[in-house]
A and B are shown apart, each in its own frame.
Chain A
Amino acid sequence: MSSLTQKMETIRNDYFSTRGNAVISSVCIALLLWIGWTLVDWGLLNAKFSADEGIDGCRAVSGACWAVIDARARLIFFGLYPYEEHWRSALACLAIILVTVLSCIPCFWTTRRLAFLWLAGFATFYVLMRGGVLGMTEVLETEWGGLALTLFIFSAVCIVGMPMAIVFALLRRSQYTVIATTMALVIDGIRSLPLLSIMFTAALVLTFVLPDWLQGDKLYRVIFGYSLFFACYQAEIIRGGMQSLPAGQEEAAKALGLNYFQRISRIVLPQAFRNALPPTINQFVVTFKETSLVTIVGFFDVLASGNAAFSSGEWLTTYVEVYFFVALIYFSFVFSLSRYGAYLETRLRVGQH
């Protein structure tokens, strides 16, 4: 009971200490309550959830028309993927999410386990999505879409881009000036290009330049281009983390007889990543959101699928609800990412005073 009175006391002191403060606080609280109530009223109390009566069912209510989600959720999640095969796309999504969650758990943090995990994850995803084996009909990459595609592009870019970023950062720090300068030029060059132009190049220009056997599907070219872009930014983040290490750390490792790879993998990188954790999480968040750019080169990611969900036929007026729903999908992923980042920071702070 006393803690409650204490809390009340704190609130009074912090927000209602003078008449001016009291007025400002009251106005803000009123505003928040009004916004909250409007949202609940629109989104829950006066909303239509079932699509049984089509768009007509929504005309009868003043609130949100969630019926469009009920009717078009599959389109948003799976894009143009064949309707009767949606279960495969759903399972593939789950596989990627499961692998992501598992690789966030510290006991999987060895190179071998992470490599095995992601190899298994991508193999499962690919076999399920692409089919053509085990009695599953074949579905070409051009028909992949929705959330499944967004998750696939994001995780592939991170998994391919991160080792590249580490190599880039190490090369840029090379003691050989030629290597360091070349790498610096490459990194700065690619960073100065817009992601969009890189995706265009990967999707279209490369088809004229590369021999047929090297081209692969457009999807993989775009993922490679995006990974390169990701790696250049992440390399600079990692390099920043390395530079904040005192020189004594590498010297001590040398004095103990550790060779270059042991020094990098056991002493430098673990500490560099710890130092660079906040900007790294930030980079993941930006990468996740910018996957939506692939719609420009003809892919049907979750945002493009959302556009398609309301822009055909009777649901034309329900764009607010669709965007709200897509935003919620993005939010749940990005918010989990940043919460996980915060957890990691607390965990890693142990012992670093």
Chain B
Amino acid sequence: MTQNETLAVRITDLNKYYGTFHALHDVNLSVKKGEKIVICGPSGSGKSTLIRCINRLEEHQQGSINVLGTELNDDLGNVDEIRREVGMVFQHFNLFPHLTVLENCVLAPMLVRKIGRDEAETIALEYLTKVKIPDQAQKFPGELSGGQQQRVAIARALCMKPEVMLFDEPTSALDPEMISEVLDVMTTLAREGMTMICVTHEMGFARQVADRVIFMAEGQVIEEADPETFFNNPQNERTRGFLSQILNH
């Protein structure tokens, strides 16, 4: 296979500014299909900004982003095409509170993929079963716990049958006892071969699931390694400092 066919995401020399603030600084990252990447780093290091650039929730100023062979630029058609194939899970779930769980899940497949309601509902129930809450389908998001809402959010993204899943601190807003139910779902998804890019501080998850761990600080990629090396033998001083802070609290 050529490189293009095996790469899910290729980010080259990416620079992003908020006004004069240099948020991302010459970031390079390639993610192969089926690969699981965990991005960590202190707050304000640009890790969320980076994955939000991948589906154009943030615009970049320099460099290029190529997702599944489509170049991300000002062409709205390209943006739409990429968003169809890239699912995203947010820190604060962002479920639509005025729609039931089932409606949340069938909305995009019906509007964007133009599939019929019956088929969309079948798919939705399949994924709701996968995240272990098919019995909550008729409830409104506000009636569910945080962990359940995040699992619905994952199911909602999966209903679009995306090639790549982005996770933006999916467990940071959860009560501690609900974190594992969400991580379990994510682990299952990883086992099934989904391409995943996760911004998270769950180091247990990173160790167990990630193919590569990336450490970012001040808008730059500081260190990139397989989890074994990353945790046991970090090369960079700042990585060591960060790891000692979050692993020994």
* Cβ–Cβ contact B98 & A352, under 8 A: yes
Query: Smallest CB–CB gap between B222 and chain A, Å?
Result: 27
* Cβ–Cβ contact B142 & A352, under 8 A: yes
Decide if A251 is an interface residue (CB 8 Å cutoff).
yes
**B interface footprint on A324-344 (CB within 8 Å = 1, 0 otherwise):** 000000000000000000000
B residues in contact with A267, CB < 8 Å = 96
Across the two chains, which residue of chain A brings its CB closest to B100? A351
CA distance A261 to B211 in the complex (A): 39
A residues in contact with B160, CB < 8 Å = 256-257
Query: Smallest CB–CB gap between A251 and chain B, Å?
Result: 5
Q: Which of A295-353 contact B (CB under 8 A)?
A: 348, 350-353
B residues in contact with A252, CB < 8 Å = 88, 90, 94-96
* Cβ–Cβ contact B97 & A256, under 8 A: no
Stretch in B11-19, B79-87, B175-183 touching the partner: B79-87
Across the two chains, which residue of chain B brings its CB closest to A249? B94
Query: Smallest CB–CB gap between A352 and chain B, Å?
Result: 5
B residues in contact with A7, CB < 8 Å = none
Query: Smallest CB–CB gap between A257 and chain B, Å?
Result: 4
Q: Which residue from A256, A259, A353 sits with its C-beta under 8 Å from B107?
A: A256
**B interface footprint on A260-302 (CB within 8 Å = 1, 0 otherwise):** 0010001100110010000000000000000000000000000
Number of A-B contacts (CB under 8 A): 72
Query: Smallest CB–CB gap between B94 and chain A, Å?
Result: 4
Decide if A258 is an interface residue (CB 8 Å cutoff).
yes
Q: Which of B144-168 contact A (CB under 8 A)?
A: 156-157, 160
* Cβ–Cβ contact B57 & A251, under 8 A: yes
Decide if A255 is an interface residue (CB 8 Å cutoff).
yes
Decide if B32 is an interface residue (CB 8 Å cutoff).
no
Across the two chains, which residue of chain B brings its CB closest to A350? B140
CA distance A65 to B97 in the complex (A): 55
Given A249-B96, A251-B94, answer yes or no on A259-B108 (Cβ-Cβ < 8 Å).
no
Given A267-B96, A270-B98, A271-B98, answer yes or no on A258-B108 (Cβ-Cβ < 8 Å).
yes
Identify the B interface with A (CB < 8 A).
Answer: 55-57, 80, 83-84, 86-88, 90, 92, 94-98, 100, 107-108, 111-112, 139-143, 156-157, 160
Q: 18 A-B Cβ contacts within 8 A?
A: A249-B94, A251-B94, A252-B95, A253-B96, A254-B56, A254-B57, A256-B108, A256-B157, A258-B107, A258-B108, A258-B111, A270-B98, A351-B100, A351-B139, A351-B140, A352-B98, A352-B140, A352-B142
Nearest first, the 3 A-B pairs at minimum CB distance are A351-B140, A252-B94, A256-B108
Identify the A interface with B (CB < 8 A).
Answer: 246, 248-249, 251-259, 262, 266-267, 270-271, 274, 348, 350-353
Q: A254-B55, A258-B112, A352-B140 are in contact. List 19 more A-B contacts (CB 8 A).
A: A246-B92, A251-B57, A251-B94, A252-B94, A253-B96, A255-B83, A255-B86, A255-B88, A255-B157, A256-B83, A256-B108, A257-B160, A258-B111, A266-B111, A271-B98, A350-B140, A351-B97, A352-B97, A352-B98
